[in-house]
Structure 1
Amino acid sequence: MIRPGLLLGVDDLDGLEAVVVDTRLALTGATGRERYDAGHVPGAAYLDVDDDLAAPPGLGGRHPLPDTAAFVAAVRRAGIWRGSRVVVYDDGPGTAAARLWWLLRDSGHDDVLVLDGGLAAWTAAGRPVSTEPVVPEPGDWDGTPGRLPVVDAGQARAVARDGVLLDVRAAERFRGEHEPIDPVAGHIPGAINAPLSGNTDQLGRFLPDDELRRRFEVLRVADGVATAAYCGSGVTATQTLLALRLAGFYDAALYPGSWSGWIADPTRPVATGR
């Protein structure tokens, strides 16, 4: 069932007039582009998280929000027009697809949907994949960022103190027991661990809205309570922001720098353990 501006299922894509975009991201093994080339939803274009949906790494973290002009150029290259309905997907749990979903909505394009379960759900349903490259006619899309809430490091610290700051990384990274990517282990003091794996089922499909709401209420999320989410670099946290919207919490903010941006300043405090 299509949930406007949020999700659609595999069957909902049948006959739907939409621009489909593959945003698969791989931290190890084959690159996202290589995975796309090996098989994608027929007709889907490809946008790369590192090259198209983020600025170069720096003090803003490993995946800062992209330069506006560069993002506009990438979106047009994917064949997106001002009036396009856009469907985005990744390998399954929405961790990369939600980044493009968030960026488009932040720039004023509301008709964008994440394919629930991504390519895993697509193939599980017996749908075919294609290895044919897709080079769409360039679109005319344009947008200006700033529609969705974000917080900087200082504001994230305030949310951790006065509201709910969700750290969506795996528990062992939150506790500082294992850090495979960033040079410092731990979490922002006062943050609450909410591993993003808890938002989806084994196939990477989002849990029912009421289950998501109960999950976030246990984590102290409530209407009127300042809420923000972060991850390692600001990409996968957008999946939790999508889950929060599905649960009926619409005002949660993204900390774009996330953990990699937080530790770029060695004077900022680091917590470990629970």
Structure 2
Amino acid sequence: MTDAPHSGLPTPGLPLPGLPLPGPLLPGPLVDDAWLAARLDDPRLVVLDATALLPSPGHDGDYRSGSGHAQWTERHIPGSRHADLTGELSDHGAPYHFAVPAPEALAAALRRLGVRDGGEVVAYDSAGGIWAARLWWMLRAISVPAAVLDGGLQAWEAAGRPVVAEQEKRQEERQEKPAPTAPGTLTPVPLPHAWATLPDVDAVLRGERSGTLVCALPESGFDGSAPTRYSRRGHIPGSLNLPGRGLLDEAGRFLPRAELAARVGAVLDDTASPVVLYCGGGISAAGAALALTLLGREDVTLYDGSLEEWSADPARPLVQRG
């Protein structure tokens, strides 16, 4: 894990013959409601609601998840589409939930949502931002320019921005935005080491690869004092704890840069080895990955299987502390 994933947001699309490729819209991996409202009608921009449901477990092994499509139907940003992370935006053949699909399968699903070469994506959700961050990381991992709406739907509504329901959405769909490029393709360009696998984590534990394991669960999940939806409690040995939701303010926005840097710096040294982030299922870890990216770190990898995969094998060690 010594190779760092690319930190930029490249545009993989090519211009049509004789036409220049327009400059990027996105200012970075995070945008606010004012930025999005001013560009909501730009034909290059696709807005995706990544909301999913994952209730807190009432007891060990209490795993429940569901699509956020119904929430999107009730209210959503005009022109947005629902990106179902429980549906075709996950690999159902994997031994854990929310597994990232292979690049070509992911690109095919995104094409059906209107994402094209030359286009850019803003992801948001109505559940604290972690789902939008997960989708952002998936997009970034195949070089699709993407950003997260800071504060999500809550910030959008708090600013007095309009929302619509499904009935109105049907009317919108009669006048869909044109594709950013005529061929309608989306070419995935996978970034190296965006994702870590179980063997990668094993190699870090054995000292065969450089890496600092960082768990993005809350402290109660990290130390095993709270019930887990997975088979066993605790964290991977040697892990540090950087709760993903602790990097947000009470309104669900990322902390100001100085405060964010202090919060991260209390756990991670700037000179630490490449960071391997995980949580229960690779969701909260994506929020932490976004925070580290905002602070300029380019050496971040996300362990997709996270504790759901790790804990399934009783031979794999987990550490608890009361």
The equivalent residue for 2:236 is 188
* 8 A contact 1:24–1:36 mirrored in 2: yes
Structure 1 segment 10-49 matched on structure 2, within 5 A:
10-16=33-39, 17=42, 18-28=45-55, 31-49=67-85
The equivalent residue for 1:155 is 200
Taking structure 1 as reference, are residues 199 and 251 closer, same or farther at Cα in structure 2, changes over 3 Å only?
same
Deviation at 1:31, TM superposition (A): 4.0
Deviation at 1:141, TM superposition (A): 1.6
The equivalent residue for 2:136 is 101
Cα distance in 2 for residues equivalent to 1:224 and 1:177: 28
Question: Please, which of 135, 146, 154 is the counterpart of residue 191 of structure 2?
Answer: 146
Q: Are residues 1:124 and 2:124 paired?
A: no
* 8 A contact 2:214–2:241 mirrored in 1: yes
Letter in 2 for 1:126: G
1:228 aligned counterpart, secondary structure: strand
Taking structure 1 as reference, are residues 99 and 193 closer, same or farther at Cα in structure 2, changes over 3 Å only?
same
Question: Please, which of 278, 281, 296 is the counterpart of residue 230 of structure 1?
Answer: 278
- Paired residues, what number? 271
Deviation at 1:54, TM superposition (A): 1.6
The equivalent residue for 2:310 is 262
The equivalent residue for 1:173 is 221
**RMSD value over aligned CA atoms?**
2.3
The equivalent residue for 1:272 is 320
After superposition, give the CA deviation of every residue in 1:216-261 in whole Å (9 maximum; x if it has no partner).
Answer: 2210232352211101111221111010011121211111110111
1:103 aligned counterpart, secondary structure: helix
Q: Are residues 1:240 and 2:276 paired?
A: no
Between 36-45 and 161-170, the greater mean CA deviation after superposition: 161-170
2:107 aligned counterpart, secondary structure: helix
Between structure 1 and structure 2, the one with the greater Rg is 2
* 8 A contact 2:67–2:86 mirrored in 1: no
Deviation at 1:163, TM superposition (A): 4.3
Deviation at 1:80, TM superposition (A): 1.0
Taking structure 1 as reference, are residues 73 and 58 closer, same or farther at Cα in structure 2, changes over 3 Å only?
closer
Letter in 2 for 1:173: G
Deviation at 1:166, TM superposition (A): 1.2
Contiguous gaps of at least 5 residues in structure 2: 1-24, 56-64
TM-score normalised over the length of structure 2: 0.77
After superposition, give the CA deviation of every residue in 1:93-130 in whole Å (9 maximum; x if it has no partner).
Answer: 32011122111111112x21110000010111111210
1:51 aligned counterpart, secondary structure: coil
Between 180-189 and 240-249, the greater mean CA deviation after superposition: 180-189
Cα distance in 2 for residues equivalent to 1:3 and 1:15: 12
Identity %: 35
Question: Please, which of 297, 309, 316 is the counterpart of residue 249 of structure 1?
Answer: 297
Letter in 1 for 2:195: V
Q: Are residues 1:221 and 2:269 paired?
A: yes
Cα distance in 2 for residues equivalent to 1:152 and 1:176: 23
* 8 A contact 1:108–1:147 mirrored in 2: no
Cα distance in 1 for residues equivalent to 2:204 and 2:255: 26
